Each structure stands twice: as C-alpha cells, then as structure tokens.
Structure 1
Amino acid sequence: MKKIFTILSCFVFLACGSPNETASAQIKTLVPGDNAPSFNLKNVDGKMISPEDYPDAKGFIVVFTCNTCPNAIEYEDRLIALGKKYNSKGYPVIAINPNPPSPFLVFSGETFSKMQKKAKTKGFSFPYLFDKGQIVTNQYGARATPHIFLLKKEESKYKVVYTGALDNDAWGKNPELERALYVEDAIAALDSGEEIKVASTKAIGCSVKRSFGGLLE
C-alpha cells in the first residue's frame, strides 16, 4: 500500500508541475555566444543523425518540439516551410523531441512510435530525433516546445547565435499582427555579415517535461 501511495504521489506532483519546475530551474539554457554540443540521436526512420552528417552546412536550426503541445502543433507547418526554404541555403532544420516517453498521463503521446506517426502524417522534410534520457535536451537547456537554437558552424564547433521563438505569433491566428521573423532575420544577418539585432527571445509553448531519473522513460 505504501508503494502504491508513493507512485500515486509522484503522478500528482508531475501533474501539478512543481518538480518539473524545480528540475528545469537547475538546468542552464545556452545563450548566444555559447558553444553548442554536437549530438548523435535516432531519427524516426531508425537512422542516427548528427550535425556532422551535414558537411556543407553553414549552420543549423535546432528546434526542440513535441507531438502534443498545442503551440508545437501550431508551428509544424511553419517549421516544414522553414526547412524547405533554408535546407538548400545551408541551414537545415533538425527537430528533437525533448519530452520523455511514458504510457502514463499526458506523456503517453510522446513515444517513439507516435513520433514516427507524427512525422509521416505531417510529411516532415527534416529529421525528428528521439533524445533518450534527455541528454541533449539538458545540455542545451531547452525550456519549451517549441524552443529554437540557431547555430553557426565555425570549423568543428557550433556557436549559438539566436535562441527563442521562431516568430512573434505563437498561435498564428492574428492576421493584423506584423509578424517578426526572428530566425529568418538572424539567418539573413549571418549571411550578410551583419550583427543579429534580436539574438534572444522567449520561447513560448508547453514546458519541457523532465524525467526525474528515468521515472517517465
């Protein structure tokens, strides 16, 4: 009975979000100027993907996104369009799911099989990677879905030059809003050798769920 109570207590805390907030507060988010670590993660097609697989890339649009967050879903078509526009220009999109898979509660929609279904249904033209153990998620300090890190390739290193939101329209439902294209503007500045005017914004979306030592894996 005590064991059952303990497990149920964990689920209550997870649902309320307090432990998740505590865990996230202890993780540093990369900021512009920081070096970003490379990674080698499993794609939805079963192949391992890393930045080194793109020798001609000038940089990368790394986006931490997921299957179920309403904001992440809203941005899917815009990410697809972004990938189609910038892959040939040297800035491929690489998507990473930061949430731990689990058969329980709200986490059941983040399993690898559902990532595969999402990529197929939406016709993702970019890799959608599974971050087992949230190692890369925590190295980058991703906070929300979606959370973008624009990287500039410098020889064998990757430097963060922009982090935050894709644009200023999280829901895409405001026709009167003058959309600020943060990522596209940053890439344009990079290619022209100019300073990036807006190098950091707040990532708007659902908070990344931390696994608490593998509880949710």
Structure 2
Amino acid sequence: MKSTCLTIALGLLACVQASADPPDLKPLEIGATAPDFTLPGVDGKDHSLKDYAGAKALVVVFTCNHCPTAQAYEGRLDKLHEGYKDKGVAVVAISPNDPKAVRLDELGYTDLGDSFEDMKIRARDHKYPYPYLYDGDTQATARAYGALATPHVFVFDADRKLRYHGRFDDGEVKPPKSHDTINAVEAVLAGTPVPTPITRVFGCSTKWADKQADAKQSLETWNAEPVTIEPIDLAGVAKLAKNETDKYTVVNVWATWCGPCVQELPEFVTMNRMYRGRPFRLVTISLDDPAKKDQTLETLKAKHVAAANFILNSDDRDAFAEALDPKWPGPVPYTLILAPGGEVVYRRAGGIDPLEVRRAIVSKLGRTY
C-alpha cells in the first residue's frame, strides 16, 4: 500500500493511503468542543459522549480492523487504557470506515474487514478493554471530528475541549521517540499546556462512502481477468510441494463433482485478491478426469478463479498424495499452506473455515509494514 502526503488545514501533513477526503473535511481546531455522538458498540450497547462525562480526560481514537498502522497500535491502546483508567482517563475507539468502500486488495495485512460484525470478532479475540464503536453507516462522527486516517487520536480535557490531535506516537513498529498522545494526556491531567498540540497523522485514509464505486469497479475488473487451467503430472506436483519460490502458497485440491469444493472456491478467490500483492499465490489442483478439462475450466471461470489452476494428469491418487503431502488422508477438499521451501504451515482436510485460513496466511505474511 503506497502512501500519499496531503497538505491540509493548519499546515498539518497527513501521510495516508491515497484516497480523496470530503472537500470540507478538516480536523477539529484546538480548543473546540467535542462533538456529541451516539454509536453502536461491539458490546451490544449504544455509546454517547455523555457516558464519559466523569472522565478527567477523554481519548477518542479513530481506528479500524484492516489498517496495518491501526493494528500496530492495538497493544499500545491497551496499555494506555490500563495505565490511565484509574487516573480518570477514558479511551474510546471508533471505526470511521464504510466497509463497502474498502477494496479487497486493501485487506492484504488483515484477516478481517471493517464491517460491524468483523469489529465484534476483532474486539472479542483481542480482548479490547475499551469501547469499540461503529460509525461506518453514516460516518457523521468521523466527519464532525475530521478523522483523516486510522489511527487518528483526539484528546479532550474535563470540559471536553480539544487539547491534542494527531498520531499516537512516532514509533509504529519501532520504539517511539515522541510519546505524543501520552504526553497530551499527562498535560491534561496536570492542567498544563500540551507541549505539541498537533502532530502529523500516519496510517490508512478514512474509507468514505463515496469510494464504494471504486470498490465495486475493482470487483468487476478482477472478474474480467482470464482464467486458465493446465495439466500437471506427479513430477510437477512434487516440484510444487517443494515451493521453490519466495511466496506463501495456498494449495486447494478440489473437483467439480465435490459440492463443498465448488461452494468454497469463492473464498479462495477473495483470499487471492486480498493477499496477492504480497508474497502470496493461490494454486488449485482439480482431481477431475483430464478428459473433462473444459468442464472443469468452465467451473473455474464461473467462480472467477484467476490463479495457477491445474488438473491432475494421473490416476494414481496414492502417488499424488505422497508427492503433495504424505499426511493427506485422501478426502477432498484439501487445503495446504506451503511456506517458501515447502514447509507445510497449515493443512485442512474437508471444508475450510475461511477466517482460520486467512489468519494462518496473515500470521506468516505479517500484519504491519
């Protein structure tokens, strides 16, 4: 994901993924009152600004599931909450993104998208100790605050006047030198001026609803990609299993006569579109009769499987299993993830849990830049 630097109001420089912000968007000015909101949380409750009226300081963080920078700061947000909750500081996270405006190739560092349901999964699995709220339907709160990117931090004092906005710190995946948000919180609690009230924002651009058309167009473009299939013999399978590439390779063994196989093909297509911009590739191997190659290809075309597709040119299933993975018990579908060099880092006989496979992939590729 490439970054673009945009000069915005107050001379602030935001380095974010290229995306057009609404023309009237600008962050709140220092000293402005916190805009009110009522938003659904992953805990099943609606949350409003008044719910945090007793806090001596309020930290509102616009963040999301998919962004690598946002994921890099999850642990630090946890520490901020745990370290300051007994000092009267409230932390509230808000996802500003319209999930329908996120392209699949923007999900290359994550196992989850930005839907409300996916937010619930992320919060549950990572045990978020702070509220995580969804603004993706209207994005009214993100507009009111001027959320430029994820993450974008806003720190308010007891009177709910803005004292700081910008990055969490300057570290992301390395130890920070400038603890900007913590410095702002400490200043608010001490009743002193915030040393640096505005900092640059680094992260993924807010995915505004007007980007839905681009996301839809990307699907149409991918659906128009050519789909091919080639025969593969046992020697080719053995070479494939060695994975003499620098890419993590998902191998899906399937057949047109296997209903669950065909049904889950779109999940592999989604994964391919998510991760193929990284060291990743998708390989499918059909166990159909080679004489039915054209029929097999038609199924792949119908599912838009633009990947390295093969049809096995051998009727020796035992030799095929030995060449691909001796631990394969035989049923299809069968799914492997091969690391560069051929180590099997994931295997599944039978239908997949797509989230489980995506997690296995991203755990190897990494969640941050």
Q: What TM bracket, shorter-length normalisation?
A: 0.7 to 0.9
Native 8 Å contact 1:41 1:48 kept in 2: yes
Q: Aligned residue for 2:130?
A: 126
State which of 191, 195, 198 in structure 1 corresponds to 2:189: 191
1:61-210 to 2 correspondences below 5 Å: 61-102=59-100, 105-106=103-104, 109-131=113-135, 132-154=137-159, 158-170=160-172, 172-173=173-174, 175=175, 179-210=177-208
Q: Pick closer, same or farther for the CA change 1:211–1:188 going to 2, 3 Å.
A: same
Q: Percent identity?
A: 37
The superposition leaves residues 100-131 of structure 1 with CA deviations (integer Å, 9 ceiling, x where unpaired) of: 12286337811111000000111100000011
How large is the Cα RMSD of the aligned pairs?
2.1
The superposition leaves residues 38-64 of structure 1 with CA deviations (integer Å, 9 ceiling, x where unpaired) of: 111100021001121123211211000
Structure 1 residue runs of 4+, over 4 Å off? Answer: 213-216
Higher relative contact order (CA 8 A, sep 6+): 1
Q: Pick closer, same or farther for the CA change 1:104–1:39 going to 2, 3 Å.
A: closer
Q: Matches of 1:144 and 1:214 in 2, distance apart?
A: 17
Structure 1: runs of 5 or more not aligned = 1-16
Q: Matches of 1:213 and 1:110 in 2, distance apart?
A: 14
The two structures have a TM-score, normalised by structure 1, of 0.81
Native 8 Å contact 2:167 2:201 kept in 1: yes
Q: Matches of 1:140 and 1:185 in 2, distance apart?
A: 21
Q: Give, in angstroms, the shift of residue 186 of structure 1.
A: 1.3
Q: Matches of 1:61 and 1:67 in 2, distance apart?
A: 18
Q: Give, in angstroms, the shift of residue 141 of structure 1.
A: 0.7
Native 8 Å contact 2:70 2:203 kept in 1: yes
The two structures have a TM-score, normalised by structure 2, of 0.49
Structure 2: runs of 5 or more not aligned = 1-16, 107-111, 216-369
Q: Aligned residue for 1:58?
A: 56
Native 8 Å contact 1:31 1:162 kept in 2: no
Aligned residue-pair number: 191
1:28-39 to 2 correspondences below 5 Å: 28-39=26-37
Q: Matches of 2:151 and 2:192 in 1, distance apart?
A: 26
Native 8 Å contact 2:38 2:46 kept in 1: yes
Q: Tell me, what secondary structure is at the counterpart of 1:27?
A: coil
**Higher gyration radius (CA):** 2
